[in-house]
A and B are shown apart, each in its own frame.
Chain A
């Protein structure tokens, strides 16, 4: 549905986006992650035909961005901060957007009613937009972006400024939309992306760092296994048992805790090395008691941190 090939955008000598290639399939929710200034908004502005790309090409629904009039009809866009005309009331604003998008007069009123219901705007339909709270404005923007029934929704940080209840509602809404439409959304709230998106891509300094599902990214980022365990007994003897079995292990962290127990975090570069089993056998052989053991998975925060700091796993 959305396809970009080596998409790039330059401001003067600075690349905001550089050589970005990705594809979003029909009916998929794709998350766009990155630190501030990574090029998320610029990418979205290019895909919505607001900024012409300085290099590369992109297609939406098989149409090249140069066919901008048709592309713009396919796309519903919610820019960052959800701008709208503050002097109009919600009804007048949605009427205006409907007219610009050429929603026929006969169905426009029904369509507006539907969107007002979907976005929970019934209570504020005849209020001026500048009287509304940030959350309601965000919903007005969302309603406006879906009014013409676009096949593809591009949402720039759709949940900023919402309270936790509203965030949950908007997430549900996006999930529901994602069943029929293609959604590309940007965010820097990681759990949100994890909860809402089928796949995600992480960009930094305008370049793609990773693309895939949470599980795929997790595997890719960790590059090994990490076991954290709490052992009661002689740690030196335990380590002496463990080392011959797996010579490449690395102890990341070791700290004595109460009841003569020790907490250790052990890493091994080979994900297939059965580290947890080895830890168990070593504990048994050294006569130590294993109080707790856990296979750690790299969290999205770790992946994000790793990929956007240019640093290695720590």
Chain B
């Protein structure tokens, strides 16, 4: 447990203390602020639907940028060798890294609380919908973080990790977007399993156990894949 905590703290420190960390954070907040404000007054409605609809796209570009160096850099700099020869289990490493990444995305998401606050002052905001949407946004961030971390475990180069992560997330996103053009059977499957479909369900203000469980299961699957990718390296 203390190992996970120490790793998490170290990553957290690097991601907030170095340019690569805070540049990404600032860029994310700028972009998200733009999408929140750009047509708010056009619609003249106190809701955040449009912002939440764009949020997955922001994730697709920014989460891989936050996750790319987490494991790829360790593998590249040889510090992974150091880490694995200290009394750490692979699971500790995966969880420590993941929790710091999740902390980072949660922090960014938390900073957007200014938007609903502004809307509360301007009009009559449905807080129920906003809260369930935030839960959805957080669950999606948790899943995308796990996918980003998995991409980072596959290569020694942060840039390749970014591109692989971007492609993984884009595929998830586009599967839902393009599902009307696909065969019916596939459409059913995507409606059942597509994270973006479930995200959109939750934006309506309904939190169902099925949605939550789906996000958590996919997150666990990608964390396990990360674990496998790291374990496999030892036997090569």
Give the interface of A toward B (CB within 8 A). 11, 45, 48-52, 69, 72-73, 75, 77, 79-81, 83-88, 92, 96-97, 99-102, 144
Chain B residues touching A, majority SS = helix
Q: A77 contacts which chain B residues (CB < 8 A)?
A: 82, 85
Q: Given A52-B235, A83-B77 in contact, is the A88-B14 Cβ separation under 8 Å?
A: yes
A80–B85 Cα distance when bound, in Å, is 13
Do A87 and B6 have beta carbons less than 8 Å apart? no
Q: A100 contacts which chain B residues (CB < 8 A)?
A: 3, 6-7, 83, 86-88
21 CB contacts below 8 A, A to B, read A11-B236, A50-B84, A77-B85, A79-B78, A79-B81, A80-B78, A83-B78, A83-B81, A83-B82, A85-B14, A85-B79, A87-B14, A88-B14, A96-B6, A96-B9, A96-B10, A99-B5, A100-B3, A100-B6, A100-B86, A144-B82
Q: Does B18 touch A at the CB level, under 8 Å?
A: yes
Q: B89 contacts which chain A residues (CB < 8 A)?
A: 69
Do B87 and A101 have beta carbons less than 8 Å apart? yes
Do B6 and A45 have beta carbons less than 8 Å apart? no
Sample of 8 more A-B contacts, CB < 8 Å, known A49-B85, A50-B234, A100-B6: A48-B85, A50-B81, A50-B84, A72-B87, A83-B77, A86-B77, A99-B2, A144-B82
- Please provide the chain B residues from 9 to 30 with a CB less than 8 Å away from any CB of chain A in the complex: 9-10, 13-14, 17-18
Interface flags for B130-166 (1: CB within 8 Å of A; 0: not) read 0000000000000000000000000000000000000
Chain B interface, number of residues (Cβ within 8 angstroms):
26
Do B10 and A88 have beta carbons less than 8 Å apart? yes
Q: A52 contacts which chain B residues (CB < 8 A)?
A: 234-235
Chain B's closest residue to A83 (CB) is B78
Interface flags for B55-87 (1: CB within 8 Å of A; 0: not) read 000000000000000000000011101111111
Give the interface of B toward A (CB within 8 A). 2-3, 5-7, 9-10, 13-14, 17-18, 77-79, 81-89, 234-236
Q: A84 contacts which chain B residues (CB < 8 A)?
A: 79, 82
A11–B234 Cα distance when bound, in Å, is 12
Q: A45 contacts which chain B residues (CB < 8 A)?
A: 81
Do A50 and B18 have beta carbons less than 8 Å apart? no
A87–B10 Cα distance when bound, in Å, is 10
Q: B5 contacts which chain A residues (CB < 8 A)?
A: 99
Contact pick for B85, options A75, A96, A102, CB 8 Å? A75
A99–B82 Cα distance when bound, in Å, is 14
Do A79 and B86 have beta carbons less than 8 Å apart? no
A50–B235 Cα distance when bound, in Å, is 10
